[in-house]
């Protein structure tokens, strides 16, 4: 059982307890445990198999919840969850999060009208039955109907690339308004999560009404959902919701810190304020009634005894402790990247020629690249057999002689076949400067076979790196069942790099595994997997993922010069 599945079951328990109106502390305990499990790089199922007592050492996992996790892993469920599921239908978990509802009202709908899912709720609302219930009324019923019309879109999180594009465009247009002095993106988008469920923007303005009117009329906005004197919530045309808050200049830093999150990070920061006799909220940091900080985030952090913490690290995963020791990492920057070592041309499934990809890389300041068209297993992408690949490399050799300011490596994205063989013979791979081994097919194979495939590739003396290691597609396809400790040990032992694939649909390795790989001393390589010249522009998302993992310039192989990089390759055993 995967960590994510365990975390989801604990989160489900918390939500069902909310429907039961259970003690809030009990609900929070299950939520905290779910988050801890979801953030772990170690496999909880293996902890259960080897030493279940270790579970109690995990933050937020006490004796009672640890026992339930053991049952969950061994039996697929535990009695409390089974009892709660019997009491409430699964559909209530979805509708309880709709605007205008919540756990108490969802439970009442189930009890009084027998509603079990969104479809039944819509039918009852259309018939006017919801408005007749005590505590609802016609306005709530209309809110629920409006929410149900957008239910499919509400339930979707969007990729960080899509969220950022919308947020940055609106931010730019708000910054042009004459009354706006400061503006910033907050929330999960600022922390660069892989996906966003909504957006948060903050501005300071002498004309709050003008800023909100401009947002309401923006061409990305579909409708205004709610509006007050200093806050407005809108729905964008892609279904994403956005909150705009107009705050005083003296509160801008406090609001930015507060609305950036994460919630878990902010709880610790507020506690540190309380320990110093201060009160922290989105309006500022106060000593009694006197504001002592708030204009900038740096003021807030300094007042609670910490240096400013980069947003990407604000997940309460150890960044507070590092800040206390003045040991926060000097996070990787986009300008640190010197190379892109995963890209495709028209030789396989790319849309640009060798020369066009070289030119595009030069324009982006790359000092060296590797062209890595697919091997033959990926027939749908016109993958190359040995003959075609050697002809392709001969063309690259010829073209690269035209350039003195960029080096072009002979590369290949070589499939690791379902039987654990590589897709090309060793004599072919030996001719390459750079071999990226990948899983494309058979991702649902059992863990034992997945690991056999990956470890065989790592042991091959010609393989330089494992590309997009899990094969996942964010929000669309789960990755292969990998035992990461074994993957990391093998990669470290054999000097094989691991990739963060910067494509927003992949971002693979994820931030947790990239951090764990760094702890094993494995060089990370961040690549775009570009299939066009424009595809090279996604590098920033890979850098963001690395920053969330706490990676610095020295942790990333392709921040080095070509000579330094080649020396790193020669450390292989």
Q: What is the CATH number of domain 334-569?
A: 3.20.20.140
User: Is the confidence at residue 253, as pLDDT, over 80?
Assistant: yes
- Relative to beta strand 497-501, strand 524-527 is parallel
**Domain range summary for the chain, segments of one domain joined by +:** 3-87, 91-154, 158-246, 251-324, 334-569
Map tokens 């993922």 to a residue: 545
* pLDDT the model gives residue 157: 78
Q: Do domains 3-87 and 91-154 have the same CATH topology?
A: yes
Confidence class for position 59, pLDDT limits 50, 70, 90: confident
User: Is the confidence at residue 573, as pLDDT, over 60?
Assistant: no
* pLDDT the model gives residue 6: 87
* pLDDT the model gives residue 538: 95
User: Is the confidence at residue 541, as pLDDT, over 80?
Assistant: yes
Q: Regarding the domain with residue range 3-87, which homologous superfamily does it belong to in the CATH classification?
A: DNA polymerase beta, N-terminal domain-like (1.10.150.110)
Per-residue exposure over 310-335, b if at least 16 CB sit within 10 Å of its own CB, e if not = bbbbbbbbebbebbeeeebbebbeee
114 or 143: whose pLDDT is higher? 114
Round the average pLDDT of the chain to a whole number and report it: 92
- Distance, in Å, from the CA atom of 320 to the CA atom of 307, rounded to the nearest integer, reads 10
Sequence-distant (6+) residues with CB within 8 A of 333 are 543, 553
Q: Which segment of 239-243, 370-374, 560-564 scores lowest on mean pLDDT?
A: 239-243
**For 158-246, which CATH class?**
alpha beta
* pLDDT the model gives residue 154: 45
Sequence-distant (6+) residues with CB within 8 A of 263 are none
User: Is the confidence at residue 86, as pLDDT, over 80?
Assistant: yes
Average pLDDT over residues 179-186: 96
* pLDDT the model gives residue 476: 72
Q: Which segment of 33-37, 421-425, 453-457 scores lowest on mean pLDDT?
A: 33-37
Q: How distant, in Å, are the alpha carbons of 361, 391, 425 from that of 396? A: 15, 9, 20
* pLDDT the model gives residue 247: 97
CATH fold of 251-324 reads Beta Polymerase; domain 3 (3.30.210)
Average pLDDT over residues 470-486: 89
Q: Regarding the domain with residue range 91-154, which homologous superfamily does it belong to in the CATH classification?
A: 5' to 3' exonuclease, C-terminal subdomain (1.10.150.20)
Q: Which segment of 78-92, 257-271, 434-448 scores lowest on mean pLDDT?
A: 78-92
């Amino acid at each position: 059982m995967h960590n994510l599945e365990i975390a989801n079951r604990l989160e489900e328990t918390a939500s069902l307890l909310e429907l039961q109106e259970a003690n809030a502390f009990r609900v929070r305990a299950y939520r905290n445990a779910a988050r801890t499990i979801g953030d772990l790089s170690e496999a909880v199922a293996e902890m259960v198999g080897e030493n279940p007592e270790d579970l109690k050492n995990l933050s937020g996992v006490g004796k009672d919840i640890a026992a339930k996790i053991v049952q969950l892993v061994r039996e697929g469920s535990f009695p409390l969850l089974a009892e709660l599921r019997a009491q409430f239908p699964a559909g209530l978990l979805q509708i309880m999060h709709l605007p205008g509802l919540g756990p108490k009202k969802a439970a009442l709908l189930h009890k009084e009208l027998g509603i079990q899912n969104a479809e039944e709720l819509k039918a009852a609302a259309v018939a006017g039955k919801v408005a007749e219930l005590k505590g609802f009324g016609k306005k709530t019923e209309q809110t629920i109907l409006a929410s149900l019309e957008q239910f499919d879109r509400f339930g979707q999180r969007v990729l960080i690339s899509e969220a950022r594009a919308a947020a940055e465009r609106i931010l730019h247009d708000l910054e042009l308004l004459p009354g706006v002095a400061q503006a910033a993106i907050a929330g999960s988008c600022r922390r660069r999560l892989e996906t966003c469920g909504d957006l948060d923007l903050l501005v300071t303005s002498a004309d709050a009404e003008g800023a909100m009117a401009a947002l309401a009329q923006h061409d990305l906005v579909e409708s205004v959902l709610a509006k007050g004197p200093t806050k407005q919530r809108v729905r964008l045309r892609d279904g994403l919701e956005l909150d705009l808050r107009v705050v005083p200049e003296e509160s801008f830093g406090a609001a930015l810190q507060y609305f950036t999150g994460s919630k878990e990070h902010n709880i610790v920061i507020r506690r540190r304020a309380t320990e110093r006799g201060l009160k922290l909220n989105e309006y500022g940091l106060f000593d009694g009634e006197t504001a002592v900080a708030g204009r900038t985030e740096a003021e807030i952090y300094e007042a609670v005894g910490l240096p400013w913490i980069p947003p990407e690290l604000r997940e309460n995963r150890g960044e507070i402790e590092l800040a206390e020791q003045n040991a926060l990492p000097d996070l990787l920057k986009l300008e640190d990247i010197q190379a892109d070592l995963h890209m495709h041309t028209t030789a396989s499934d790319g849309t640009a020629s060798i020369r066009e990809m070289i030119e595009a890389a030069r324009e982006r300041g790359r000092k060296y690249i590797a062209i890595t068209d697919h091997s033959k297993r990926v027939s749908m992408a016109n993958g190359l057999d040995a003959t075609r690949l050697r002809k392709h490399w001969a063309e690259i050799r010829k073209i690269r002689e035209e350039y003195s300011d960029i080096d072009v490596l002979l590369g290949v994205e070589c499939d690791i076949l379902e039987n654990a063989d590589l897709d090309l013979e060793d004599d072919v791979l030996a001719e390459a400067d750079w071999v990226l081994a990948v899983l494309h097919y058979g991702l649902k194979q059992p863990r034992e076979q997945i690991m056999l495939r990956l470890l065989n590739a790592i042991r091959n003396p010609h393989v330089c790196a494992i590309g997009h290691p899990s094969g996942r597609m964010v929000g669309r396809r789960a990755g292969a069942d990998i035992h990461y400790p074994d993957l990391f040990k093998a990669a470290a032992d054999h000097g094989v790099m691991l990739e963060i694939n910067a494509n927003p649909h992949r971002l693979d390795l994820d931030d947790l595994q990239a951090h764990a790989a760094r702890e094993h001393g494995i060089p990370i390589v961040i690549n775009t997997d570009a299939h066009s010249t424009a595809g090279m522009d996604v590098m920033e998302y890979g850098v963001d993922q690395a920053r969330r993992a706490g990676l610095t310039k020295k942790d990333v192989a392709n921040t080095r010069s070509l000579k330094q990089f080649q020396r790193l390759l020669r450390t292989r055993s």
